[in-house]
Amino acid sequence: MSKGALRYRSPEDMPAGLRRLYEAQTADTPPAMRVENYRNPAPELVLPWPSRLLHPNARPHWGEKAGEVKQARQAALLVAVEAGWQFLRATLPEQGRLFVLIDGYPPNRRRRDRDGLQSSLKHALDGIADAMGVNDSRFFPITDIREARPPRGEVRIRITTEVTR
């Protein structure tokens, strides 16, 4: 375990999503047979708008950015586990592209570029790949910026094996 990793005295002290991930990794029986709640994973994840420090044009101190990177990755992992995405691996093909459809809803009217949003979400996508148990090199992100604005902005993520036009 790394020096900065979270440590808990027992699984009961862990947040619910992390506890489910721990139980799924340490169980002898397949998780899909144990957990009835996650037979139908959520169709999409809703993440908060990424921190300004994660944007590729930002030039923060490396220590400040490292904290944001760790927080973004862990938050995405926990959201994915809460949504039951750790069981998606059984329904996906073992090889080939996984299309990650990203819809960004910015918190204000400032102009945004799609590649900046996609780069800001790199660490969140790593956390989602960790939760799913797949290599993130299979991810093929398709990013779009939408007009509707929730109060603080959000990002909606869906994963599919084929894209229809």
How far CA 150 is from CA of 46, 50, 112, 154, in Å, comes to 12, 14, 16, 7
pLDDT at 1: 44
Helices (H), the chain: 16-26, 31-34, 62-82, 114-120, 122-132
CATH code for the domain defined by 11-160: 3.30.1330.70
Asked if 48 and 152 count as a contact pair (C-beta separation under 8 A), the reply is: yes
Q: Looking at this protein, which amino acid is placed at residue 39?
A: R
Span 54-73, pLDDT tens digits: 999 999 999 999 999 999 99
pLDDT tens digits for range 114-165: 899 999 999 999 999 999 999 999 999 999 998 877 788 899 999 988 876 5
Contact 17, 130 (CB under 8 A): no
